[in-house]
Amino acid sequence: MFPVEEITIAQLHAAYLEGKTTAREVTEAYLERIAAYDKRGPYLNALITVNPNAVADAANLDAALKSTGKLTGRLHGIPIIIKDNIDTSDMPTSSGVALFKDFIPGRDAFIVQRLHLAGAIILAKSSLSELAMGLADTINSVLPGFTRNPYNTAYASGGSSGGTGVAIAANFGTVGIGTDTGGSVRAPSSINNLVGIRPTVGLVSRTGMAPLDSQRDTPGPMTRTVEDAARLLDVIVGEDPADPRTADAEARIPPTYTAFLDRAGLKDARIGVLRQVFKLQDGADPRVIELFETAIADLRGAGAEIVDEFKVPGFEKFPRPPQTAAQYKADWERFFAYEGPHFPVKTVAELRDAPAGKGVHALHAARVAEVAAVTKTPDEDPATVQGRKDEQRYREAFSAAMDVARVDALVFPVWTFPPKINGDRGQTPQGQLTFIGSATQWPVVVVPMGFVGENLPMGFQFLGRPWSEGPLIRFAYAYEQLTRHRRPPPIAPPILDKK
């Protein structure tokens, strides 16, 4: 069996072209790992649906390569895990909701179409908090129990894209895609020892992706390396006439984000350290601060000019713009209509009133009931209107402060505390700092910065100005190549060849 653990896109493509392996063999190797570790052994519980056609899809790609001698596209034969709130026309899309678990959309999401055209193999759909409503953990009504962190299964996987995070960390696929509204790519990337990119809202289409808050929603790569994140981003970016937020994207997209992969990419970069985050209400765990201080020293050692006391005036008192029930309701019911007449519900009230065993998890039932009761549109709802004003305040304040300090990016942790134990419902602090990227709707790249406590990974964020994904990838790559904090979870080791 071809060894797939920690393998990259470039390594697989080289192996295909050199005849060392096939897409079918690689797909079967990942399926063997899924069979051994997802619902058996450590019971990571990361996947909702495994594609029954994945091996056949891989065989077709092998035949095409044999016939032409060329790779089909940028992701030829690359098995990918996608979050189960992204539509696939050949597999159910549940959004983590029991009532939706058998619904098969009539068409692929825009980014799934892009993935297919690039030659990717959609290997599986991953677990998520219902309707992407979680951040600290991943639990839903489709899969009983938690998705479990592969570095320590007593701990949370992060939400809401925890299924993708665990699957890619445990080498169930080569690369993955999550979605991010309030931190759902960044949080699980941080605590699963992964690279995660939350793009500028509008760089990647949301058509066919179940929404949470359409002002902030975006899909994003979740990968084991910065290079693979750049390669995946190349494929999924672009203008989509069905998503007006992407209208400005095309002029902002470079020929390839891999052009920014520069080991010396931090030399002379001005990086601001947003220490104000440690003064927020939750505070910080000293172990996380120690890791972050080491990361800053590494950035300096790689040639960056560190602006150590970067400040956004008044930031500590900025309100955190809410994700409002009015926006949820408008976006959910628009999406229910988009999915067509065969979708299980047309209104949030119907979801609230789902029969026993089909409703949302008790953790989210009150929120769904609150959303169902809303009578105002987002434009009429005072909380939503004020929230949009507050978001603009973030953009203006951060932009002005970055200009004054002449910094290229800001750095700060994803969380100021280690992951929570599964089942922790607010008993311990979290210190999540993903709200900044969500409020600004600016790009963020998360990279691993090491481990704390009981083998628990932690990451930090590079935040940049709108459309600055390229420079952020450059900084993240240079840091990654210097520090090499990525390591696979021991609980899911290579499977010995039985031959």
Is there a cis peptide before residue 160, judged by omega within 30 degrees of 0?
yes
The reply to whether 160 belongs to the active site is yes
Is-catalytic flag, 83? yes
Residue 434 and residue 150: Cα distance in Å, rounded?
22
Cβ neighbours around 406 below 10 Å, total: 10
Residues 250, 255, 258, 262, CA torsion sign: negative
Q: Which of 83, 101, 125, 329 is catalytic?
A: 83
Phi, psi values for residue 446, rounded to 5°: -100, 135
Query: 11 near 2, Cβ under 8 Å?
Result: no
CB contact at 8 A, 459 and 415? no
3-state DSSP call for residue 312?
coil
Distance CA 311, CA 398 (A): 9
Q: How far apart are CA 247 and CA 243, in angstroms?
A: 8
- The one catalytic residue in 126, 160, 190, 205 is 160
Residues 190, 234 contacting (CB under 8 angstroms): no
- In the structure encoding, which two tokens stand for residue 24, read together? 């079918």
Report the relative pairing of strands 175-180 and 121-126 from DSSP bridges: unpaired
How many degrees, rounded to 5, is the angle at CA 403 between CA 257 and CA 314? 115
Q: Tell the residue number behind the tokens 């999924």, with chain if given.
A: 236
The residue type at 311: K
Of 95, 126, 127, 184, the catalytic one is 184
Supply the DSSP symbol for 421: B
For residue 170 the two structure tokens come to 């445990």
Clarify whether 184 is annotated catalytic: yes
Tokens of 42: 């450590």
Helix (H, G, I), strand (E, B) or coil at 354: coil
- The residues assigned a catalytic role are 83, 160, 184
